[in-house]
Structure 1
Amino acid sequence: MLAAMFYAPMDVRLEERPVPQPGPGEIVIQVAAATTCGTDLKTYRRGHPLLFQNGPGGFGHEVSGIVAAVGPGVTRCHEGDAVSVANSAPCFQCFYCRRKRYSLCEDLLLLNGAYAEYLLVPARIVEHNLYVLPTGTSFVAAALTEPLACAVHGVEASEIMSGDTVVILGAGPLGLLLVAVARLRGARVILTGRGEQRLALGRTFGADIVLDVTGMSMDEQCEAIRQQTENQRGADVAIEAVGTPETWTLATRVVRPGGLVNLFGGCPSDSHVQFATRPLHYSELTLKGVFHHTPTYFAQALELILSKQVDVTRLISAYLPLEAAVDALQLLLQKQGVKYALIPPAFAHLYARELAQAPDLPSGNKYQ
C-alpha cells in the first residue's frame, strides 16, 4: 500500500508499505479520505513532542473509510461498514480519567497514519471512538469530525452563553470551526485573521464581524476589537486560535473585566508568555487552556455534521490524490488554501470532478 511516512521535520516520504493485519479487537480500514490539519503542518515543519518521538511513522490523523478487515472479538463494526475514526482514546482508568478529564489521560492513545491506503485502528479506539456512518455520508465530511470535535471542546470550555460577544483570534481551520460552533451557542462572534479566502469563509461560517488584521500591530488589533464591543469594554470571551505568545497576550487584553480567555492555540513547546498582572488580578479574568477532544465531543461533532448544522466541507480548498500529500503540505506552507482532502486511488472515482480541478502543485507533478 502507499503511505506517507514522517522521518524528520520537512522529511515526509510516500512509500510502499505492507497492508496491516488486525489483531484482537483491532480493525483495518481502507482509507476513503484523509484531510490535512494545522497540527500536521506544524509537525511537518518542526516535529511534534508527542506524535513522533521515534521515526519513521505514519502521518496524518483526520480520516474516514471502509472497514476492510476485523480482528477477533470486534463487534462494533463489520467488514464493508463506512466509518469515521477518531485519532485517540483515553484509558478510562487513570487519575484524570476517573475525574472525567479524558483529554488529560495519562495514557492517551494517539493514532497517526491517515495519509495511506489502509490504516490499522487499535482496539481501544475501536471500542471507544469509532463510529459507523449512515449510508450516503460524505467521506470527506466524516474525516473532518476530528477538528470539529476539538472546536466543540473549545467552545464548551469557554462557557459561552447566548448573547455573549466572543472574539476568535485566528481564521485558520480551527478558528473557522470555532466560529461555527460559537454561533450555534447564540454568540455574537468577532473573527480576526488574514487572507481573503479565510476571512470570506469566516463570514460563511457565521462571524458577525470580520477584521482583517494584516499589517496591524498588537495594540492596533486590540483597539480594533474593543471598538466592536459594547462601550468598548471588551468581549465576554476571547479564544486564541493562532498559537503564538503574542496572540496569547493579546487575548488577555481584549476581554472585559470578569471575562474568560481560552488559550486554545498551541504555541511551540519552548515558548514563554508575559502577561500584565494587574488586569488579570483586578479584572478577575479567567484563563484556561484547552487541548484535543474526547469521545463525547467527537460524537457530538459527528452529529453536527450528519445533521448538517455545520458544513465542514467548506473548509476544503481542493481535492488531491493521496500521492500529492507532500505537495498539500507544501501548499499550506506557502499559505495557499485552508485544508486539502487526500483521496486514495480506490476512491478517486467518487471525487473525479473535484480531483480534475486540483491546482498546480509545488512539485510540478501531474497525477492521474
Structure 2
Amino acid sequence: MKAVRFYAPGDIRVEEIPVPQPGPGEVVIKNKVTLTCGTDVKTYKRGYRYEPPFGFGHEASGVVAAVGEGVTNFKVGDRVVAHNSAPCGHCYYCKRGDESMCESLIQNQFDNGAYAEYQLIPAPIVNMNMFHMPDEMSYKQAALLEPMACSVYGTANCPIEIGDYVVVNGCGPIGLGFVRMCVLRGAHVIACDMSAARLEAAKKLGAVDTVKVDEVEDQAQAVKDLTEDGRGVDVAIEATGVPSVWESAMHMARPGGFVLLFGGLKKGSEVSLDANLMHYSQLTVKGVFHTTPMYVHSTFEMIKMGQFPEEIFVQNEYSIDDTEKAILEHASGAVIKNAIVYPD
C-alpha cells in the first residue's frame, strides 16, 4: 500500500509499505479520505517535537477492512471515523480529568499516519474514540472530527458569556472551529487572518466582524476598536502557532479578560509577555493542548447536527501521490482544507 512518511522539514515521501494487520483489539481501516491540517503544514515546514522519521496525517475516515481478536463493536464493511488519540485512563493526569496531559497519550499518526491507503487503529482508540458513521454523513464531514474536537475543547476552556466579545486570531480549520463554537456560545466574534477566503468562511460561520491583519498597522488596536467603548475583548483566542500573535493576543483583551493560547509553537520557541499588563489588567492567560474523549464524543454529535459544514471546510481533492501539493496549497491560505481521496 502507499503511505506518506515525514523525514525532515520539506521532505515527505510516498512509500510502498505492507498493509497493516490488526492485533487483539485493533482495527484496520481502508481510508476513503484524509484531510490536510495546519499541524501537517507546521510539521512539513519546521518538524515536530518527535524525532523523524514518522507517520504523517491524522484526519481520516473510511471503511473497516479487518478486525483483531476481541473486537465486537465493529465489523468489516462498517463506515467509521477514528480520532487520532486516546489517553490511558489510569495515570495521574487522567485520574484528575486532564486527559490531554496523559503520560501515555497515544498519538496514532506518528506510528500509523493517516496519509495512507490503510491505517491501523490501536485498541485504546477503538475502545474510546472510534465511531460508526450515520448513512447520511460523508467521509469528508466525518474526517473533521479531530480538528473540530480541538476547537470544542479549547472553547470549553474559555469563560464565554452570552454577548461577550471574542476575537479569534487565525482562521485556519481550528480557528474556524473556534469561530463556530464561540458563535454558538452567543459571542460577538471578531475573526482575524491574512486570507480573504478564510475571513469569508468565518463570516459564513457567524463571525460579526473581520480584520485582515496585513491591511492594518496595529492588529490589537484594530480589534479593540471593534469592541464597545474600545475596551477590548472579553476573550482573546490564539490559533495561529505564531509567537508574535501569542504576544499580541493579550493586548486585545480588556482588563480582567481571558487569553487562550492554542496554536502550538516550534520546539524551543520563547515568547515575551507584558508582565505589567498581566498584573495591572488582571489578565488570565491559559495554554490548552489537543482535546479529550469527552469533547471528541461531543464533537461527533455536533458533526451529526451539521454544525461544521464540509463545503466550508474542505475544498479540493488530490491523490496520495500529490499529498505535498495539497499541503502546500493549504499552507498558502487559498483553501481551508484539502482532501486526499483514495480509489475504491
Shorter-normalised TM range = over 0.9
Of 90, 107, 110, which residue of structure 2 is paired with 1:110? 107
- Give me the CA root mean square deviation: 1.2
Q: 1:189 to 1:333 in 2, by over 3 A?
A: closer
Of 222, 226, 229, which residue of structure 1 is paired with 2:227? 229
Contact 2:244 2:271 in 1 (8 A): yes
Aligned to 1:83: 80
For 1:57-72, what aligned pairs fall within 5 Å after superposition? 57-72=54-69
Instruction: Compute the TM-score of the two structures, normalised by the length of structure 2.
Output: 0.96
Q: 1:95 to 1:127 in 2, by over 3 A?
A: same
Aligned to 1:277: 275
SS at match of 1:166: strand
Contact 1:322 1:345 in 2 (8 A): no
Q: Which runs of 5+ in 2 are unaligned?
A: none
Q: How much does 1:216 deviate?
A: 3.2
Aligned to 1:152: 152
Aligned to 1:94: 91
Aligned to 1:203: 203
AA aligned to 2:48 is H
Tell me: higher relative CO, structure 1 or 2? Use CA pairs within 8 A at least 6 residues apart: 2
- Structure 1 stretches (4+) deviating beyond 6 angstroms? none
Alpha-carbon distance in structure 2 between the residues aligned to 1:243 and 1:20: 33
SS at match of 2:179: helix
Alpha-carbon distance in structure 1 between the residues aligned to 2:19 and 2:274: 54
Alpha-carbon distance in structure 1 between the residues aligned to 2:313 and 2:307: 14
Alpha-carbon distance in structure 2 between the residues aligned to 1:94 and 1:2: 36
Alpha-carbon distance in structure 1 between the residues aligned to 2:95 and 2:104: 13
Contact 2:198 2:333 in 1 (8 A): no
Identity between Structure 1 and Structure 2 (%): 45
Contact 1:5 1:58 in 2 (8 A): yes
Q: 1:307 to 1:334 in 2, by over 3 A?
A: closer
AA aligned to 1:8 is A
SS at match of 1:14: strand
- Per-residue deviation, residues 64-102 of structure 1 (Å, max 9, x unmatched): 111110000112211111111000000011110010100
Alpha-carbon distance in structure 1 between the residues aligned to 2:12 and 2:274: 41
Aligned to 2:173: 173
Of 313, 317, 320, which residue of structure 2 is paired with 1:319? 317
Q: How much does 1:215 deviate?
A: 4.2
Aligned to 1:356: none
SS at match of 1:147: helix
Q: How much does 1:331 deviate?
A: 2.2
SS at match of 2:115: coil
Q: Is 1:303 aligned to residue 321 of structure 2?
A: no
For 1:216-365, what aligned pairs fall within 5 Å after superposition? 216-217=216-217, 220-346=218-344
SS at match of 1:97: helix
Q: Which runs of 5+ in 1 are unaligned?
A: 347-368
Alpha-carbon distance in structure 2 between the residues aligned to 1:230 and 1:176: 23
Alpha-carbon distance in structure 2 between the residues aligned to 1:327 and 1:68: 28
Paired residues, what number?
A: 341
Q: How much does 1:344 deviate?
A: 0.6
Aligned to 1:359: none
Of 71, 74, 79, which residue of structure 1 is paired with 2:71? 74
Instruction: Compute the TM-score of the two structures, normalised by the length of structure 1.
Output: 0.90
- Per-residue deviation, residues 314-334 of structure 1 (Å, max 9, x unmatched): 111211222211211232344
